[in-house]
Amino acid sequence: MATGPESVQEVKASLGEVGYLADESAALVSYLAQRLGKPILVEGPAGVGKTELAKALSRSTGRELIRLQCYEGLDEAKAMYEWNYRKQLLRIQAGASEARSEDDAWSDVHDQIFSEEFILTRPLLTAISSEDPVVLLIDEIDKTDQEFEAMLLEVLSDFQISVPELGVIHATTHPLVVLTSNNSRELTEALKRRCLYLWLDYPAIEREVEIVRLHAPDLDEQLARRLVEVIHMVRALDLKKPPSIAESIDWARAVLLLGADDIDGDVFAQTMSIIVKHRTDLDLVAERVGMRLNEEGKMDLGAAGGQRP
């Protein structure tokens, strides 16, 4: 069993110190992963802080972050290792010029060119062979296929990689592995069995206000709440891409720079593109949320007018 933090609260506090407000489930799974030496599979909508959790764990533990960004068609050569064919060829040519025959040349260099000197390490092998503990982020695993998942099982189960020409390379220190998925496809049961599971969703209003004010501390609490309430109104619509937490923070910083003291229809119209990134979404949000904010503004003006003597 791996050593690590002494309590869930210690993990939660250390993540908070590096700017990540973890809820109880995220803190618990992060604690168990470090104590049990198990990978974490984090699923949830895009933009809820899955990748940021891995980055925060790297900062809070002082471990280097090694990131494998997944995409369709990702293969072993890009994820694990490949041989430096150009360097191998140069070594073979040098050996041929020194040898008495082709057979002698091949026997002289065969063992040399299939050695660690001639291997190009990619993220998975880099993490496994690191002398210091690292955080290995396998980002958006759902973009790969089941064959790639099968290739990962050796790494996730035994923290080792088999290289036919070299043998099995075992991890000298266990990496803290975080896999993220936007849940665009169902992952295999074999992969899920090897991981602790964490589902992250968009935070409730209270927590998102905390997150926004952590990253934009000069924002008034009332204005931060108003901003987050509008964000939640936007997310409630059927959009191609709902606003992420990072975009909530960007919007808060923009509002501060503009010196706005409220999120009214005019401010929303000017800054809406910070949180809405698709053309059809812009039209829908302007129609539903923008008009609602304008109506609220008219009602406020009417109420203020009715109070005048």
Tens digits of per-residue pLDDT, 172-188? 899 999 999 998 899 99
Give me the CATH topology for the region 8-70+134-146+172-199.
Rossmann fold (3.40.50)
Q: What is the pLDDT of residue 42?
A: 98
Dist. CA 142–CA 185, nearest whole Å = 6
pLDDT over threshold 60, residue 300: no
pLDDT score of 107 = 60
Q: Which amino acid is at 297?
A: G
Q: Which residue has the higher pLDDT, 40 or 306?
A: 40
Higher-confidence position of 227 and 305: 227
- Split at pLDDT 50, 70, 90, the class of 92 is confident
Average pLDDT over residues 196-210: 96
Give me the pLDDT at residue 186, please.
93
| Domain coordinates in residue numbering, the chain | 8-70+134-146+172-199, 82-113, 205-297
By DSSP bridging, strand 134-139 and strand 176-181 are: parallel
Cβ neighbours, 10 Å, residue 164: 6
Digit-coded pLDDT (tens) for 94-133 = 766 655 555 555 566 766 777 777 888 899 999 999 999 9
Position 78 scores a pLDDT of 92
Structure confidence at residue 84 as a pLDDT band (50, 70, 90): confident
Q: List, for residues 128-148, the tens digit of each pLDDT value.
A: 999 999 999 999 999 999 999
Distance CA 141, CA 29 (A): 19
What's the pLDDT score for residue 201?
A: 94
Is the CB of residue 21 less than 8 Å from the CB of residue 211? yes
CA distance 196 to 238: 31
Which residues of 122-166 form beta strands (DSSP E)? 134-139, 160-163
Place of tokens 């720079």: 257
State residue 86's pLDDT score. Answer: 84
pLDDT of residue 104: 55
91: pLDDT strictly greater than 80: no
- CA gyration radius for the chain? 26
- Top-confidence residue, 261 or 299: 261
Q: Which range (6-10, 77-81, 233-237) has the least confidence?
A: 77-81
